[in-house]
Amino acid sequence: MTQRVFTRRAASALALSLAATLPLAAHAQQDYPNKPIRLVVSFAAGGLTDVIARAMQPKLSEALGQPIVIENRPGAGGTLAEALVARAPADGYTLLMTADSVPANPHLIPNLSYDAMKDLIPVAVLTRIPLVMLVNPSLPVNNVKELVAYAQANKGKVSYASPGIGTSNHLYFEVFKDLAKADIAHVAYKGGGPAMADVLAGHVPVTLISSTLAAPQVAAGKVRAIAVTSETRSKQMPNVPTFVEQGFADFKPQQWNGLFVPAGTPAPIVAKLTAEFSKVLKSPEVVARLTELGAEPVMSTQQEFSSLLRRDYDVLGKLIRERGIKAQ
């Protein structure tokens, strides 16, 4: 009898505790945010993802009514930042802004301490940045078909530069090679800057690189742009045809920057972040700055972002396994 009374009392105490906790949790969500928000950026200060985050920072702080503290956590292809956010409290006060390495990383780096596809909630694609295929002016080609023909006629003599093994630039060029059946060797660098420098110098004649890095060099006449990966021509380089125009209808990859939160973050908080980020990406000041950077504001839905991640996870995973590609 005593045991049953104790059990009933314990059950009642637990019920009262839960009843008290639920309103507090609901209030915390309604009151969100009520303290500074940490925005973890997966790449170094001055890189494109960081610059995009800082372009949005003042308007985000204004929209959410709290300071937005940017914390750069570069390294290991973005996995250091991903792991940090995956382990953070799911309360909306730790966010992740990262790039398109997320779906490739699990295939490139074995034994990660987290599962990005389960431990992070994809909120939205924030921006897209088209890639541009550039050639050094010494290479006698003016379009993609001429490049492919030249590579086939000079087997083993044409190479392309990428910012590193496993970067989207590297992986997408390998996809292009499959589509074009082109024999073009890969030369990996430690970043887009060094890769571009050697293309400018003519040491490596070809690269596929973000329009942000490409546009100034094209405008200066230091390299020749032969194709852009966007579905329509770039506003920065309107004279450069797309891959689609040149017969490569299935080659439309673009680099992206996206927003993630830890799994378990309450839906009302995710909805709040979605609404406020969407407003910021429509503000004239932010749109103007992103346009300068060659980035297109997007603000996809969660479903669209999830579908993109799943598709890239499968496609890039298959490519990485077949090529035996491993992270540097």
> Is residue 20, in this structure, part of any structural domain at all?
no
> Is residue 1, in this structure, part of any structural domain at all?
no
CATH number of the domain at 169, please. 3.40.190.10
Indicate if 290 and 300 belong to the same structural domain: yes
State yes or no: pLDDT of 22 exceeds 60.
Answer: no
Indicate if 123 and 269 belong to the same structural domain: yes
- Say what the pLDDT of residue 229 is: 97
pLDDT digits (tens, 9 = 90+) for 192-229: 889 999 999 999 999 999 998 899 999 999 999 999 99
- Say what the pLDDT of residue 9 is: 57
Kindly indicate the confidence band of residue 23, based on its pLDDT and cuts at 50, 70 and 90: low
Report the pLDDT averaged over residues 141-152.
Answer: 97
Indicate if 33 and 108 belong to the same structural domain: yes
CATH number of the domain at 118, please. 3.40.190.150
Indicate if 123 and 147 belong to the same structural domain: no
- Say what the pLDDT of residue 236 is: 86
Indicate if 124 and 81 belong to the same structural domain: yes
135 lies in which domain range?
130-228
Q: How far apart are alpha carbons 61 and 302 in whole angstroms?
A: 22
Q: How far apart are alpha carbons 92 and 29 in whole angstroms?
A: 9
Kindly indicate the confidence band of residue 19, based on its pLDDT and cuts at 50, 70 and 90: low
Domain tally for the chain? 2
> Is residue 264, in this structure, part of any structural domain at all?
yes
Report the pLDDT averaged over residues 76-105.
Answer: 95
Indicate if 219 and 135 belong to the same structural domain: yes
Q: How far apart are alpha carbons 291 and 310 in whole angstroms?
A: 28
Task: Decide the pairing of beta strands 254-262 and 120-135.
Answer: antiparallel
- Say what the pLDDT of residue 47 is: 83
Kindly indicate the confidence band of residue 173, based on its pLDDT and cuts at 50, 70 and 90: very high
Q: How far apart are alpha carbons 223 and 59 in whole angstroms?
A: 36
pLDDT digits (tens, 9 = 90+) for 261-286: 999 999 999 999 999 999 999 999 99
Nearest to 208 by CA among 192, 232, 219, 220: 192
Half-sphere exposure of 68 (CA within 13 A, CB side): 24
Range from 13-27, 202-216, 247-261 carrying the lowest mean pLDDT: 13-27
Helix axes 168-180, 302-323, angle to 10 degrees: 70
pLDDT digits (tens, 9 = 90+) for 111-123: 999 999 999 999 9
Nearest to 265 by CA among 116, 98, 94, 112: 94
Indicate if 45 and 181 belong to the same structural domain: no
pTM: 0.85
Give the rounded percent of residues in the chain with a pLDDT score beyond 70. Answer: 91
pLDDT averaged over the chain? 91
> Is residue 237, in this structure, part of any structural domain at all?
no
259: β partners: 97, 124
Q: How far is CA 280 from CA 49, 57, 212, 216, 226, in A?
A: 16, 9, 21, 27, 34
Indicate if 134 and 222 belong to the same structural domain: yes
- Say what the pLDDT of residue 28 is: 55
